[in-house]
Amino acid sequence: MTDVYLNGIFMNADQARISPMDRGFLFADGVYEVIPAFNGVLFRLNEHLLRLQRSLGALQIPNPHAADAWQALCKEMIGRNGGGNISVYLQVTRGAPDKRDHGFPVPAVPPTVFMATSPVAPSAISNSATAPGAAAIVAEDIRWARCDIKAVALLPNILLRQQAIAAGAVEAILIRDGLVTEGSSTNVFVVKDGRIATPPCTPRILAGVTRELVVELCRNHELPLVEREVTKEQLYDADEIWVTSSSKDALPIVTLDARPVGNGRPGALWKTLARRFLELKRAACSIA
Ligand code: PDD
């Protein structure tokens, strides 16, 4: 049994209770982050906490903790749950007032803070020479117009992911108005003729912490990257496709709608990127 954190108290997961009046339960009125740790060391914590602040700000929920308090809570969660390669899930909702009402509670009630951990499996970059790559499908983006907020309201993402699973794939790559936005829980990169492209950060996508890291790695190692719109046709025509997230790092997509991407194997640019990504992660998390 793992330890979780709920409103100031660490406890066994089966002891945790929230009110059914919680606005997270009634309205999905809350935000979250998933922060990975490797070798017990939090990776890109500040970037995750800055995005948490932006998401809370967009919902006008006061941030219940300063950055150093969040850091201490995350470390405690990792320590209590065995360290190693583990991700911290944290969620903040608008709290549990006495009555259900769409408007914000007056007076305001304290936000509900919940944290849990789960193990992180080794990603494709840890073995880039032999990584097989993964399958994806293409689907219409049926989400709302503020996908830049990391809100717990994930019903469209869940349905899209399930559509991918039903097709034997790991991810759904989403299209809005003929343009690639992102994956159901990842950001998307495409490669054509040696050039890398990823859709720009707009309210249509989540500004992924891993996306930003991959952009940085490309810039620092002279891998030619542009942030620009990518059409559905360009997606189908890509030599390589990668999807990125805190749990997947950068995963090569080798089939799209059951058709091979490029030669159907992880591409040369992905392999270069994967080596750089792994170097950085090892250095940042003191992995021998
Ligand atoms: N998902 N886009 C969406 C819609 C996401 O849900 C996520 C993350 C990403 C990648 O963001 P990052 O690189 O910061 O993890 C992009 C998390 C992992 C989740 O929902 O579990």
State pLDDT tens for residues 249-282. 999 999 999 999 999 999 999 999 999 999 999 9
1 contacts: CB under 8 Å, gap ≥ 6: 12, 13, 14
Q: Which residues are catalytic?
A: 150
Q: Verify whether ligand 1 is closer than 6 Å to residue 247 (CB atom).
A: yes
Q: Is the pLDDT of residue 1 over 90?
A: no
**Average pLDDT of the chain?**
97
CB 237 within 8 A of CB 191: no
Q: Is the pLDDT of residue 109 over 90?
A: yes
User: Facing residues of 6 across strands?
Assistant: 9, 114
Give the position, in ligand 1's atom list, of the atom nearest the Cα of 182.
2
Q: Verify whether ligand 1 is closer than 6 Å to residue 245 (CB atom).
A: yes
pLDDT mean over 136-165: 98
Looking at residue 288, what is its pLDDT?
82
Residue owning the nearest CA to atom 6 of ligand 1: 185
Q: Is the pLDDT of residue 189 over 90?
A: yes
The alpha carbon of 229 and the centre of ligand 1 are apart by a number of angstroms equal to 19
Looking at residue 83, what is its pLDDT?
96
The alpha carbon of 244 and the centre of ligand 1 are apart by a number of angstroms equal to 8
- DSSP code per residue over the chain: --EEEETTEEEEGGG----TT-HHHHH--EEEEEEEEETTEESSHHHHHHHHHHHHHHHTPPPSS-HHHHHHHHHHHHHHTT-SSEEEEEEEE----SS--SSPPSS--PPEEEEEEEE-PPPGGGGTTT---EEEEEEE----S-TTS-BS--HHHHHHHHHHHHTT-SEEEEEETTEEEEESSSEEEEEETTEEEE---STTS---HHHHHHHHHHHHTT--EEE---BHHHHHT-SEEEEEETTTEEEEEEEETTEESTTSS--HHHHHHHHHHHHHHHHHTT--
The alpha carbon of 248 and the centre of ligand 1 are apart by a number of angstroms equal to 9
For a substitution probing ligand 1, which of 187, 202, 215, 248 has the most ligand atoms within 8 Å of its CB?
A: 187
Q: Verify whether ligand 1 is closer than 6 Å to residue 39 (CB atom).
A: no
For a substitution probing ligand 1, which of 50, 149, 211, 246 has the most ligand atoms within 8 Å of its CB?
A: 246
The alpha carbon of 103 and the centre of ligand 1 are apart by a number of angstroms equal to 28
Cis peptide bond upstream of 107, omega within 30: yes
For a substitution probing ligand 1, which of 31, 33, 34 has the most ligand atoms within 8 Å of its CB?
A: 34
Q: Is the pTM of this model over 0.95?
A: yes
Q: Verify whether ligand 1 is closer than 6 Å to residue 198 (CB atom).
A: no
Residues comprising the chain, all counted: 288
For each of the domains in the chain, give its residue range(s) and CATH number, in order of start.
3-120 (3.30.470.10), 125-284 (3.20.10.10)
Residue owning the nearest CA to atom 5 of ligand 1: 185
Dump pLDDT digits (tens) for 218-257: 999 999 999 999 999 999 999 999 999 999 999 999 999 9
pLDDT mean over 187-203: 98
The alpha carbon of 270 and the centre of ligand 1 are apart by a number of angstroms equal to 19
Residue owning the nearest CA to atom 16 of ligand 1: 186
